[in-house]
Amino acid sequence: MIGLVVVTSMPAIETDGLTKRFGADVLAVDDLDLTVEEGEVFGFLGPNGAGKSTTINVLLDFVRPTAGSARVLGLDAQADAAAIRERIGVLPEGGELYDRLTGREHLEWIARTNDLQESVDYEATLDRVGLTAEEAARPVGGYSKGMAQRLAFGMAILGEPDLLLLDEPSSGLDPTGMQEMRTIIREEADRGATVFFSSHILGEVESVCDRLGIMNEGRLVTTGTIDALRDELDLDASVSIEVDAVPDGLAADIESNEGVHAVETDGTTLTISVANPTRKIDAIRRVDERATVLDVRSTDTSLEQLFNTYTGNGEGEPEPSAAGFAGDETAETAAEVGR
C-alpha cells in the first residue's frame, strides 16, 4: 500500500473578525484579522489600552469574544481550550504567582498540571531565566518585581511548548534582564517554537521579532517586517560617526553605496542616513577602513516615527500615554551599535 502524507502548514494563531466589547462603551478589540505563522517571533505592539491583553486573553480562553473567532495551533480557542493549554507556554499580564509558594514550587506546579514531571529540568530552566537555586527556594512573596517576572518567564518556557504567548514579558526587568529575555525568545524560536509577545518597547520588538503588528484602539493598524514597514514609510535610520579627520572623497564614497540615502559632514563628524539599521554597520565599517573612529552615535528615531504615523500621535512629542516609546527608544540606541 502506498501511503500519502500531506503536510500542510497551518498558522500558529489565526483570528477572524475577532471582536470583544466590555459593556456598551468599550470596544477593546475591533474586527481583528491576525495571522501568526508557525515558527515566527511576532511582536504585538501598541499603547496602553490598545487591546493587546484582551486579544491574548481571548486566545487563552480567559475572555469570550463578542464576535468572530480565534484558532490557536489549528484548534478553536474556545472549544479546544484544554488541548491548546497543553501545548502552549503562557506569561499572563500581571503574572499568576502565589506569595506563599517558592519559585521552584511554581515550576513544579506547572509541570504537574501539564503532565511534564519526567521530562523537566528545573535547574536548567532556573538558570536560563537567571534565578539561583537559593532564590528559587524562597517564597515568591519576597521576590522583587524582576525576580517575579523571571520566574513567570521560566513557567512559560518550561516543557518546551510549541507556542509561547507572552504579555509584556519585559515588564519589570532591568536592561540586562531584558537582553536575557530577548536571548531566550530567540532560543525558543531556534528550537522551533512560535513566539507571540506584546510590548510597548519598540527597540525590543526591532531586535527580536521577525514580524510585528501594531494595535491601536482595538484595531490592527499594520503588520509586516520592520524593514518592510520602514520601506513603506520611507523612514531613515542614521548613524553619526566622529573621526580624527575626514579623508577626501570619503563622504561621496559612502553615499554611493547601496542603502545609503545621504551623508552629511560637520567638522570631523559624518552623519549617514541609511535605509535600514543593518546598513549602519556597513557604513561604520567603511568609515573605519579609512579613518580613526573616535565615537559612534546611532540616532534611530524611526520606529517612534513609525508608531506615531500609524497611531496618529503626530510628528512632535509623543502623547503622555506613549511616553515610554521615546524613553525606551533612547535607551535602546546606545546599545544598538554594539549588536
Ligand X SMILES: Nc1ncnc2c1ncn2[C@@H]1O[C@H](COP(=O)(O)OP(=O)(O)OP(=O)(O)O)[C@@H](O)[C@H]1O
Burial class of 15 by CB neighbour count within 10 A (0 to 12, 13 to 18, 19+):
buried
Footprint on residues 56-115 left by ligand X (CB under 6 A): 93
Cα–Cα dist 271/257, whole Å: 14
Exactly one of 15, 54, 102, 276 binds ligand X (CB under 6 A); that residue is 54
> What SS3 state is found at 306?
helix
With CB under 6 A, what is the number of residues at the site for ligand X?
12
Q: Using DSSP, state whether 40 is helix, strand or coil.
A: coil
Distance separating alpha carbons of residues 148 and 275, to the nearest angstrom: 39
Q: Is position 53 an interface residue for Mg ion (rule: CB under 5 A)?
A: yes
Helix (H, G, I), strand (E, B) or coil at 266: strand
Whichever of 48 and 113 has its CB closer to ligand X, that residue is 48
Candidates 50-58, 96-104, 228-236, 284-292 — which segment interacts with ligand X by CB under 6 A? 50-58
User: What is the 8-class DSSP label of residue 299?
Assistant: -
User: Which region, judged by CB under 5 A, interacts with Mg ion, from 44-52, 65-73, 201-209, 260-268?
Assistant: 44-52
Question: Would you count residue 48 as binding ligand X (CB under 6 A)?
Answer: yes
Per CB under 6 A, does 32 bind ligand X?
no
Tell which one of 12, 14, 15, 53 touches ligand X (CB under 6 A): 53
What's the rounded Cα separation, in Å, for the pair 177 and 220?
29
The smaller minimum CB distance to Mg ion, of residues 53 and 298, is found at: 53
Choose the binding region for Mg ion from 48-56, 69-77, 109-117, 122-130 (rule: CB under 5 A).
Answer: 48-56
Select from 10-18, 42-50, 103-111, 226-234 the region that touches ligand X (CB under 6 A). 42-50
Angle between helices 175-190 and 145-157 (to 10 degrees): 0
Spatial separation of the C-alpha atoms in residues 44 and 59, rounded to whole Å = 13
Positions touching ligand X (CB under 6 A) are 22, 26, 28, 46, 48-54, 93
